[in-house]
Amino acid sequence: MIAPKNDTNETSSKTQREWVIMKLKKDGFITRNECLKNLISRLSDIIFRFKGEGWVFDSCFIPSKNGGKDYKYTVKKIPETGN
């Protein structure tokens, strides 16, 4: 699925999966709220599929900037074909 085109949306020229992979490889983690901000509402499904491909994650709730909670996935292992 291609993310919607939007000038403020970083995912406009990438698929959601490609954007998540880029973010995980760059920063080593990703959060649910950051994905929602980029119009990716099914991060848990993307992570579930990555796990089936051999990716390993730690995950936990973290405080969000507005005083609520966010969910963070931290990469522990990327398979050799992690694309």
Q: CB under 8 Å to 35, separation ≥6 — which residues?
A: 20, 41, 43
Give the C-alpha separation, 70 to 61, whole Å: 6
Note every long-range contact of 60-64, with CB atoms under 8 Å and residues 24 or more positions apart, other chains counting.
62/31, 64/33
pLDDT (tens digit per residue) in 8-26: 455 556 899 999 999 999 9
Which of the pair, 37 or 3, is modelled with greater confidence? 37
Q: For domain 16-77, which architecture applies?
A: Orthogonal Bundle (1.10)
Q: What is the pTM of this model?
A: 0.80
Q: Where are the domains of the chain?
A: 16-77
Query: What is the C-alpha separation between 69 and 10, in angstroms, rounded?
Result: 23
Give the pLDDT of residue 80: 87
Give the integer Cα–Cα distance in Å for 57 and 77.
7
